[in-house]
Amino acid sequence: MPSGMVIHEWNMLSSYTTNKQVPSLPLLKKGNNYKINFDYDVTPERSVYFKIVLSKKNGEKIKTMIIEDDDIEFKYPKDAYSYKIELMNAGFQHLQFRRIIIEDQHIESSHSTISTDISEMIDKIRHNKV
């Protein structure tokens, strides 16, 4: 397979009647910050990369991000309607792909605040300061 070829593609939108596929990516909330982690092993190192393409409702591309690392943090644009992720060949010999993890950073920070508040409350209860 030549370098620059798409190995696999995941889509947020899909037409089952047209291509018999269901969406393979979750909906993202406009304006929210996300972290995407790619879990894989590849030989030689850095011989694959990921491309995230953000599009408007009319299909016009808003932004294309090239990711050569294991993760990326980005803000999902307010004018975005859909996105897709492409796994790209850069001369790999062996690839073991496991998963993509997409985290909403707003939810992550909310959870850590809640757990801190709960920990403080438990400490107060243990020390009879409530």
Structural domains of the chain, ranges and CATH numbers in brackets = 6-105 (2.60.120.260)
Confidence of residue 49 (pLDDT cuts 50, 70, 90): very high
67 contacts 50 by C-beta, under 8 angstroms:
yes
What's the pLDDT score for residue 113?
46
pLDDT (tens digit, 9 = 90+) per residue, 110-130?
A: 454 444 566 666 666 666 655
Mean pLDDT of the chain, nearest integer: 87
- Kindly tell me the sign of the dihedral angle through the C-alpha atoms of 46, 2, 5, 95: negative
What's the pLDDT score for residue 126?
66
Look up residue 121 and give its two tokens.
């409350």
87 contacts 39 by C-beta, under 8 angstroms:
no
Confidence of residue 23 (pLDDT cuts 50, 70, 90): confident
Q: Is the pTM of this model over 0.85?
A: no
Confidence of residue 14 (pLDDT cuts 50, 70, 90): confident
- Residue 103: pLDDT over 50: yes
